[in-house]
Amino acid sequence: MTKLTQNSATQTTYRWPAPAKLNLFLHINRRRDDGYHELQTLFQFIDKCDYLEFKITDSTDIILHSDLNKVVATSDNLILKAAKLLQSETCYQGGAEIWLDKQLPMGGGLGGGSSDAATTLVALNALWKTNLSQNKLAALGLQLGADVPVFIRGFAAFAEGVGEHLQPVELKEKFYLIIVPEVHVSTAEIFNAPNLPRDTKKYSLDNLLQNPWKNDCQNLVINKHPQVAKALDWLIEYAPSRMTGTGACVFAEFENKQQADTVMAALPTDFYGFVAQGLNQSPLSVYLADLN
């Protein structure tokens, strides 16, 4: 991975990865009084990432350079929210310029926005030398989204609660063919749907690992979005396949890269997809360890 790069302002900066995740299974156990849902889910990272570059500035402004500014309002951007949260929490007196190289599809259940937020917290904590512990960063991350803590912790994990109780797991690092249907699925809309199943029984991790894996949001999304159903129908002919998160991306799992590449070569031209490997350690935590 190239670490040093020349950004548009011709400064030499570091290129921090913000990897995607898959939910290898996703069970919804209960709706809490605050509207959030208790889940049991299995997170694994994949080796497909957004990349962020940071320059520390004397002014307190936080400036983001990205095409994303055209689609996501500045006030909603999780990168800016993360940087401002860290700044106010630590009373840091400077700011930052940030460059985002967006590679991950948005709203696909791959967690790109949450991962960008986590990388921003981890990178600025190092560059600003604000020295917050990982526990503190994960707690700040949770204020931004239920998925942010796993990206800060950096290990594949069995998650409970709303996604913040994390237990490390060693999984096979399989290869996945991921199809990105041309549809944006809103996480809030799925969780608010009256017919979402919300009563899957809680099981022990051992039990869950030994039984077939499923995603409780999948049927709802398939019924709403024929593009997701079509992608899954195609994939399932080749290998065990499911949806990640609240969709819309679907993935098939393979023991080796050659098998995944062979099916990828047969992908109909009206689908967009890519092959990625599952990772038990996040590229962000590998990167941080190499820097230190």
Ligand X SMILES: Nc1ncnc2c1ncn2[C@@H]1O[C@H](COP(=O)(O)OP(=O)(O)O)[C@@H](O)[C@H]1O
Ligand Y SMILES: C[C@@](CO)(OP(=O)(O)O)[C@H](O)COP(=O)(O)OP(=O)(O)OC[C@H]1O[C@@H](n2ccc(N)nc2=O)[C@H](O)[C@@H]1O
| Binding-site annotation: residue ranges | 105-115
Spatial contact of 141 and 8, defined as CB atoms under 8 Å apart: no
Which DSSP letter does residue 9 get?
T
User: 10-15, long-range: CB within 8 Å, 24+ apart, which pairs?
Assistant: 11/55, 13/53, 13/54, 13/55, 13/99, 14/53, 14/54, 14/123, 14/291, 15/51, 15/52, 15/53, 15/101
Query: Which residues contact residue 194 at a Cβ distance below 8 angstroms, ignoring those fewer than 6 apart?
Result: none
Query: Taking the CB of residue 152, how many other CB atoms lie within 10 A of it?
Result: 27
Question: Can 147 be counted among the known catalytic residues?
Answer: yes
CB 50 → ligand X: shortest distance, Å?
A: 7
Alpha-carbon distance values, 38 to 43, 64, 160, 201, 202 (Å): 15, 33, 7, 11, 10
Residue sitting closest to ligand Y (CB): 245
Structure tokens at 273: 């997809």
Q: Which is nearer to ligand X, 101 or 257 (CB)?
A: 101
> Given candidates 39, 96, 152, 279, which one binds ligand Y under the rule CB under 6 A?
39
SS3 call for 7:
coil
Residue 200 CB, nearest distance to ligand Y (Å)? 13
Told to check if 106 binds ligand X by CB under 6 A, we report: yes
DSSP 8-class letter at 200: P
78 binds ligand X (CB under 6 A): yes
The one segment of 48-56, 107-115, 130-138, 199-207 that binds ligand Y by CB under 6 A: 107-115
Q: How many residues bind ligand Y (CB under 6 A)?
A: 20
Residues counted in the chain:
292
Q: Which position among 36, 213, 271, 274 is part of the footprint of ligand Y (CB under 6 A)?
A: 36
Candidates 105-113, 258-266, 271-279, 283-291: pick the segment binding ligand X (CB under 6 A). Answer: 105-113
Selection from ligand X, ligand Y, none that 162 binds (CB < 5 to 8 A by kind) is ligand Y
Q: How far apart are CA 242 and CA 235, in angstroms?
A: 9
Of residues 124 and 217, the one with the C-beta less far from ligand Y: 217
Per the annotation, the verdict on 21 as an active-site residue is yes
Q: Does 27 bind ligand Y (CB under 6 A)?
A: no
Helix then strand then coil, % of the chain, to nearest 5? 35, 30, 35
Active site residue: 50, 116, 147, 216, which one? 147
Closer CB to ligand X, 109 or 163, in the complex: 109
Indicate which residues carry an active-site annotation. 21, 147
Residues that bind ligand Y (CB under 6 A): 23, 26, 35-37, 39, 41, 109, 111, 114, 145-147, 162-163, 187-188, 191, 245-246
Residues that bind ligand X (CB under 6 A): 68, 72, 76-79, 106-114, 116, 187, 245
